[in-house]
Amino acid sequence: MKPKVVVTREIAPEAVSLLRQHFSVFANQKDAPVSPRQLLQKLKGMDGAVTLTTDTITDDVLARNPQLKIVSNVAVGYNNFDVAAATRRGVMMTNTPGAVDDATADLTWALILGAARGVTFADRAVRAGRWKRWRMMEYVGQDIYGKTIGIIGFGRIGRGVARRAMGFNMKVLYASRSRASDTIEQEFRASYVDKHTLLRESDVVTLHLPLFPETRHYIGVADLALMKKTAILVNASRGPIVDEKALVRALKTGRIAGAGLDVYENEPALAAGLAQLPNAVLTPHVGSGTYATRLKMSTMAVNNCIAGLTGQRPPNLLNPDVLNTRAMP
């Protein structure tokens, strides 16, 4: 009998077809919402699961499904996984690192330029018929070329943003848990600084951090107070990294000039007043939203699942210690 695999949410159909070549597959390609209780039902009797970040895999979920061998996240982030619990219970956990790098870096730049030049505000004005004539001092934004960009989190996506900033002749500052090598700094013309220096000196601050307890509200009231009044804050990483209520107040009062957000603290809900702000550009968590990228993510996750259920080591195994806990099939 073939192993059974559930795909909890819609993914690229090509990836589902690949999965069907190996296993009995139960795929939610209609993308019907899955509650925690429904997730438990879907996992019942399954050997593997292909999940999205909306699916929370806790110790309790794993305890109720002891037959599970692997859970493959169609995402780079995995804050929806209890990896330690999975390791204890002998369940492999995987993600899709690298798949979203270029698409997310591109979207970050769309948010930067959109916020700096008031693109969405001007677009709404034209569509609503409020633009009656050209005026010299109407719909004026900020220059980006030659300014300073501060990148918090200098991993693959952060470096991708820095590479694009070179085309705008920007001074690149970065803050990260560890300093990059001299070679990397020279390649990206980037200078390592502490968080407070970056916030004070940057015209654009862009966030590229994973969500962990220590990064929740990494940007709050005190941090926003350090930024230039002309500065723009961009977040295309994880919503709770920014104290959204504090950001709304900062944008309303002119503490900072603008923001570009692709992620939110309590998605899909927004903090009160955020949607009404003319100086905020808001997109619906589409950092990886190109078909090529979503196909790559889906295929990577499926290949992780196939490897884990056919006696191989998954290419993107998050918890390699699990191989000592539970023998490979």
Cis peptide before 268 (omega within 30 of 0): yes
Sequence-distant (6+) residues with CB within 8 A of 210 are: 77, 79, 153, 237, 238
For the beta sheet containing 232-235, the strands, ordered from the edge strand earlier in sequence to the opposite edge, are 190-192, 171-175, 148-152, 204-207, 232-235, 258-261, 280-282
Question: Is 267 annotated in the active site?
Answer: yes
Task: Clarify whether 238 is annotated catalytic.
Answer: yes
φ, ψ of residue 209 to 5 degrees: the values are: -115, 150
The dihedral sign for the CA sequence 328, 315, 319, 22: negative
DSSP state of 180: P
The dihedral formed by the CA atoms of 77, 173, 190 and 293, expressed in degrees to the nearest 10: 30
Give the residues across from 206 on adjacent strands: 151, 234
Catalytic residue among 238, 244, 265, 294: 238
C-beta atoms surrounding 193 within 10 Å: 16
The active-site residue out of 10, 185, 187, 267 is 267
Contact (Cβ atoms closer than 8 angstroms) between residue 218 and residue 247? no
Q: In this structure, are residues 191 and 173 in contact, taking their beta carbons and an 8 Å threshold? A: yes
The DSSP H or E segment spanning 244 is helix 244-252
80-107: b or e for each residue (b if 16 or more CB lie within 10 Å)?
A: bbbbebbbebbbbbbbbbebbbbbbbbb
Kind and range of the H or E run holding 232 = strand 232-235
Instruction: Give catalytic status of residue 208 as yes or no.
Output: no
> Measured between alpha carbons, how far is 25 from 234 in angstroms, rounded to an integer?
39
Task: State the catalytic residues.
Answer: 238, 267, 285
